[in-house]
């Protein structure tokens, strides 16, 4: 057929029409209307008979008459487009006696907002069965914005002109286009949003423009969900290159390209902001992932690091929106490493450092994030010092997505002596620092360095030498009810440190003298219950309990574990209130003793109930010892029931709020049941332990991941694992776990045989 080959067009017909949101504000504005249609001109060509084709003069006159006779106003450009299409189709059908194969209508607004060269709307209509297809396109041509963008020093000081061409395409049913898009509102939103950005790359800036455009389409996105709108963005820097007119980036995106920002609602019929379904009303910007390193060797280092992390998650209380360059800045810590005590590098005459790292999700761009970190350093107490010298806290951006960033000018990049005030990512000394690589290895061992092309694991293995004195540390806070209540009044506060435990990261490589200096911490178990299997009813009286504590400390105990609910099989039920009444008076009495060794002894509360744990911590306990690892006693084999989830959430919130260490034990409900580890028979004879060790590693490992990872997770350095000897294990499995306990935390993939 010739219909798709021949075209008749009325091009750029100048009209003056009333446009506005209401009759009062409608003004006459000039537009250019283009109408084209496919039609087989063969018969007219052979006969030279105008009656066998479309008379484009009559089509023009019909359009002029229709608009001249329109007594109302057009609310929007798409309403105007719809009217032009209907009038054009009516006139063409009047002349031909039937609808053409395809009609194209384009409306150009000659006087758009001054920041934009042209604004246009197009409609492509195609006659198909069972119903016609229709595609609408809106174009903002050369939208001019003053933007802070670029990596060079001068580009970080002054805004520059960037031109954006934005095209929005969507399919719709016929006539469903009237007032679908508020173009003036979109232009205002884009100019405002883009003007507040501070991207390093044109790529990131163009992606942000696409997100903001898609965001403006959310109210109408429930139309034709199966074919969502597509946004095309061209971002152009006219002054980027001295020998070229511009540098451009062109992208094409839909809602589905940003799953962390947009998602379908439960019915699958409407697009929405993804975070709104989870209650995060302010997480509506591009989310990036960054790895941060933290270090301290002055003052209470553990307190300083925890305080810095809490401040990090409250960015709007630290800097204003101008400094952060975004009105609703968010930073969420989603993973943490273990914590290490390390000897200083470069400047060795200073105290040992406490080092760790975290992964954050943030809508901050790299430079505003760096600005936030420097402000936090000042708030925590960092003062000017020599390079690599002592500091209360040091925060560095180690990785940011997969980006390579260097804000220094080209001639400044010969060495690393001029980093002050600049950002270089990945951190230029990452590959030579064990105290950075090892924390990263704890979280992202398989991450590939974007410049070196090697994983974090391989970079750690490639170190020419490692620090044999490096120790993992577990800090215990000094807790009281007054301190916790005061802390709850402000999330950006942290409890001071009472003491910490340390153990060597690689004991096999330490010297004989160092190994002899290691301390084994002994936990004294104080059961204030009438039915415990070891000392039932022996210490239920306060005097007897205190005597036990004094004797335990004199015998070398480092911590006293107080439990008010027996875990022996078939133990009698104890109410929450009764359990609290058993443990809290003992904790308070210990904290009131005259002997400082007794008064300041570490106390853990042996409980699986959040209410009991909270009461015990408020009374002065420093640690939670949970034999069910935060999921309650009845969660095995499934840990995903409502009660387990509720218990997990409450325990995580309490541990995060108070920063107390948590001892997570492997168990399967009742201590005398569920002793079959046949599902892990694939590990029989394995160099990383047998079925019992693998079962503990898989089942407890999954819980630890859920407790540590994600927003609101417990710091990894506060987690101590207990294999649960005697709980849901046969004699053989107990012996296996005792023999190979050191293999529980080796760096292997778990569950490989399942």
CATH number of the domain to which 220 belongs? 3.30.1130.10
What is the residue range of 21's domain?
Answer: 1-111
pTM over 0.85: no
Q: What confidence score (pLDDT) does residue 384 get?
A: 59
Backbone angles phi, psi at 186, to 5 degrees: -65, -45
**Mean pLDDT of all residues in 325-354:** 88
Return mean pLDDT, the chain. 84
d(CA 121, CA 119): 7
Contact 340, 380 (CB under 8 A): no
Q: How far is the CA of 750 from the CAs of 189, 309, 525, 668, 684, in angstroms? A: 49, 30, 32, 18, 14
**Mean pLDDT of all residues in 234-249:** 87
Same domain, 46 and 163: no
Q: How far is the CA of 732 from the CAs of 39, 471, 728, in angstroms? A: 86, 33, 12
Same domain, 181 and 269: yes
Q: What confidence score (pLDDT) does residue 242 get?
A: 75
Q: What confidence score (pLDDT) does residue 80 get?
A: 85
pLDDT digits (tens, 9 = 90+) for 87-106: 998 998 888 888 888 899 99
Within a domain: 463? yes
Within a domain: 234? yes
316: CATH: 3.30.70.560
Same domain, 61 and 153: no
d(CA 234, CA 251): 7
Q: Are strands 405-406 and 424-425 parallel, antiparallel or unpaired?
A: antiparallel
Contact 297, 284 (CB under 8 A): no
Contact 304, 297 (CB under 8 A): no
Same domain, 311 and 273: no
- Residues ≥6 apart with Cβ < 8 Å to 367: 156, 198, 200, 407, 423
Flag whether pLDDT at 454 surpasses 90.
no
Flag whether pLDDT at 593 surpasses 70.
yes
CB atoms near residue 74 (< 10 Å): 24
CB atoms near residue 678 (< 10 Å): 7
**Mean pLDDT of all residues in 116-130:** 85
pLDDT digits (tens, 9 = 90+) for 147-194: 888 877 677 778 899 999 999 988 765 445 455 677 888 898 899 888
Q: What confidence score (pLDDT) does residue 400 get?
A: 93
Flag whether pLDDT at 67 surpasses 80.
yes
In 110-246, beta strands by DSSP E: 116-126, 133-149, 160-172, 198-199, 230-237
Q: Which helix (H) or strand (E) holds 16?
A: strand 7-19
Buried b / exposed e along 155-187 (16+ C-beta atoms within 10 A): bbeeebebbbbbbbbbbbeeeebeebbbbeebb
Q: Which residue has the tokens 């036990």?
A: 548
Same domain, 85 and 184: no
d(CA 285, CA 689): 46
Q: Which residue has the tokens 């946004």?
A: 231
Same domain, 228 and 107: no
For 35, counting Cβ atoms within 10 Å of its Cβ (0-12 exposed, 13-18 middle, 19+ buried), the class is buried
d(CA 561, CA 587): 10
How many independent structural domains does the chain possess?
3
Q: What confidence score (pLDDT) does residue 514 get?
A: 53
> Which comes out higher in pLDDT, residue 722 or 636?
722
Q: Are strands 331-336 and 288-296 parallel, antiparallel or unpaired?
A: unpaired
Same domain, 443 and 306: yes
Same domain, 367 and 382: yes
Residue that is last in its domain, among 111, 130, 151: 111
d(CA 695, CA 701): 9
Q: What confidence score (pLDDT) does residue 535 get?
A: 56
> Which comes out higher in pLDDT, residue 754 or 691?
691
Within a domain: 637? no
Within a domain: 410? yes
Flag whether pLDDT at 662 surpasses 70.
yes
Q: How confident is the model at residue 663 (pLDDT cuts 50, 70, 90)?
A: very high
Q: Tell me how far apart the 2 most distant CA atoms of the chain are, in Å.
A: 118
Enumerate the H helices of 159-277 as residue ranges.
Answer: 183-195, 202-216
SS3 230: strand
* CA proximity to 255, closest of 289, 212, 201: 212
Q: How confident is the model at residue 5 (pLDDT cuts 50, 70, 90)?
A: confident
d(CA 303, CA 295): 11
Within a domain: 11? yes
Residue that is last in its domain, among 261, 286, 311: 286
In DSSP terms, which residues pair with 10 in a beta bridge?
Answer: 35
Q: What confidence score (pLDDT) does residue 754 get?
A: 39
- For the chain, what percent of residues have pLDDT higher than 70? 87
Within a domain: 395? yes
Q: Which helix (H) or strand (E) holds 527?
A: strand 523-527
Q: How confident is the model at residue 515 (pLDDT cuts 50, 70, 90)?
A: low
Same domain, 232 and 351: no
Q: What confidence score (pLDDT) does residue 49 get?
A: 87
Q: Are strands 247-253 and 288-296 parallel, antiparallel or unpaired?
A: unpaired
Flag whether pLDDT at 21 surpasses 60.
yes
> Which is it for the CA torsion 516, 518, 519, 520, positive or negative?
negative
Q: Which residue has the tokens 């690393």?
A: 416
Flag whether pLDDT at 512 surpasses 80.
no
- Token pair, residue 152, equals 């060079």
- Which of 277-281, 335-339, 642-646, 722-726 is most confident? 335-339
- Token pair, residue 608, equals 């699986």
SS3 75: coil
- Token pair, residue 647, equals 């218990």
Contact 65, 134 (CB under 8 A): no
Within a domain: 59? yes
Flag whether pLDDT at 221 surpasses 60.
no
- Residues ≥6 apart with Cβ < 8 Å to 322: none
Same domain, 278 and 167: yes
Flag whether pLDDT at 48 surpasses 50.
yes
Residue that is last in its domain, among 286, 320, 348: 286
Lowest mean pLDDT among 51-65, 95-109, 128-142: 128-142
Same domain, 370 and 467: yes
- Token pair, residue 200, equals 């390093």
- Residues ≥6 apart with Cβ < 8 Å to 582: 528, 529, 540, 564, 574
d(CA 713, CA 719): 11
- For the chain, what percent of residues have pLDDT higher than 90? 40
Q: What confidence score (pLDDT) does residue 192 get?
A: 87
**Mean pLDDT of all residues in 46-60:** 88
Lowest mean pLDDT among 246-250, 281-285, 353-357: 281-285
pLDDT digits (tens, 9 = 90+) for 555-578: 999 999 999 988 777 778 899 999
Q: What confidence score (pLDDT) does residue 285 get?
A: 46
d(CA 327, CA 195): 12
Same domain, 252 and 298: no
Within a domain: 319? yes
């Amino acid at each position: 057929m010739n219909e798709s080959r021949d075209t008749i067009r009325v091009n750029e017909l100048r009209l003056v029409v009333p446009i506005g949101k209401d009759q009062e504000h409608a003004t006459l504005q000039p537009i250019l209307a283009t109408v084209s249609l496919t039609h087989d001109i063969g018969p007219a060509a052979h006969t030279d008979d105008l009656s066998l084709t479309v008379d484009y003069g009559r089509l023009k006159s019909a359009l002029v008459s229709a608009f001249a006779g329109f007594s109302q106003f057009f609310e929007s450009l798409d309403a105007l487009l719809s009217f032009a299409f209907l009038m054009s189709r009516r006139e063409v059908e009047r002349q031909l006696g039937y609808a053409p194969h395809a009609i194209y209508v384009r409306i150009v607004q000659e006087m758009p907002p001054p920041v934009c060269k042209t604004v246009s709307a197009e409609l492509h209509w195609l006659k198909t069965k069972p119903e016609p297809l229709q595609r609408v396109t809106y174009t903002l041509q050369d939208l001019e914005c003053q933007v802070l963008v670029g990596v060079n020093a001068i580009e970080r000081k002054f805004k520059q002109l960037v031109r954006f061409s934005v095209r929005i395409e969507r399919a719709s049913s016929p006539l469903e286009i009237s007032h679908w898009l508020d173009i003036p509102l979109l232009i205002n939103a884009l100019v405002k949003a883009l003007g507040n950005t501070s991207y390093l790359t044109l790529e990131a800036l163009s992606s942000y423009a696409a997100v903001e455009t898609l965001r403006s389409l959310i109210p109408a996105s429930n139309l034709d969900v199966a074919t969502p709108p597509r946004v095309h963005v061209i971002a152009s820097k006219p002054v980027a290159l001295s020998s070229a007119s511009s540098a451009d980036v062109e992208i094409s995106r839909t809602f589905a390209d940003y799953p962390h920002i947009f998602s379908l609602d439960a019915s699958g019929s409407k697009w929405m902001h993804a975070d709104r379904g989870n209650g995060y009303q302010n997480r509506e910007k591009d989310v990036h992932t960054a790895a941060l390193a933290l270090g301290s060797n002055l003052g209470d280092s553990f307190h300083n690091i925890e305080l810095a992390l809490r401040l990090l998650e409250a960015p709007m209380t630290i800097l204003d929106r101008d400094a952060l360059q975004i009105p609703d800045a968010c930073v969420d810590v989603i993973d943490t490493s273990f914590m290490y005590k390390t000897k200083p590098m470069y400047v060795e005459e200073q105290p040992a450092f406490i080092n760790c790292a975290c992964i954050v999700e943030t809508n901050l761009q790299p430079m505003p994030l760096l600005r936030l970190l420097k402000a936090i350093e000042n708030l925590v107490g960092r003062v000017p010092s020599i390079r690599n010298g002592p500091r209360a806290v040091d925060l560095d951006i180690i990785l940011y997505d997969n980006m390579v960033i260097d804000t220094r000018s080209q001639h400044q990049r010969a060495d690393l002596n001029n980093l002050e005030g600049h950002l270089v990512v990945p951190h230029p000394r990452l590959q030579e620092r064990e105290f950075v690589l090892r924390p990263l290895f704890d979280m992202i061992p398989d991450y590939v360095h974007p410049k070196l092309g090697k994983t974090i694991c391989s970079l750690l293995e490639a170190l020419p030498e490692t620090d044999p004195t490096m120790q993992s540390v577990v800090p215990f806070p000094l807790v009281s009810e007054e301190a916790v209540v005061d802390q709850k009044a402000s999330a950006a506060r942290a409890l001071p440190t009472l003491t910490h435990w340390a153990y060597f990261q690689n004991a096999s490589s330490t010297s004989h003298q160092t190994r002899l200096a290691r301390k084994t911490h002994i936990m004294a178990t104080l059961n204030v219950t009438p039915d415990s299997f070891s000392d039932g009813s022996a210490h239920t009286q306060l005097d007897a309990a205190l005597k036990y504590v004094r004797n335990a400390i004199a015998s070398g105990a480092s911590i006293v574990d107080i439990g008010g609910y027996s875990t022996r099989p078939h133990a009698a039920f104890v109410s929450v209130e009764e359990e609290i009444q058993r443990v809290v008076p003992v904790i308070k009495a210990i904290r009131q003793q005259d002997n400082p060794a007794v008064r300041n002894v570490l106390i853990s509360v042996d409980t699986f109930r959040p209410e009991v744990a909270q009461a015990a911590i408020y009374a002065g306990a420093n640690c939670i010892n949970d034999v069910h690892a935060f999921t309650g006693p009845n969660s095995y084999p499934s840990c995903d029931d409502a009660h387990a989830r509720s218990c997990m959430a409450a325990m995580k919130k309490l541990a995060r709020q108070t920063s107390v260490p948590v001892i997570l034990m492997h168990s399967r409900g009742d201590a005398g049941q569920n002793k079959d580890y046949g599902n892990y028979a694939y590990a029989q004879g394995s160099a990383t332990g047998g079925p019992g060790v693998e079962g503990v590693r898989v089942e407890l490992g999954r819980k630890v991941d859920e407790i540590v990872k994600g927003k609101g997770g417990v710091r990894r350095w506060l987690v101590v694992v207990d294999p649960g000897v005697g709980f849901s294990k046969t004699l053989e499995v107990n012996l296996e776990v005792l023999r190979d306990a050191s293999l529980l935390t080796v760096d292997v993939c778990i569950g490989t045989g399942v």
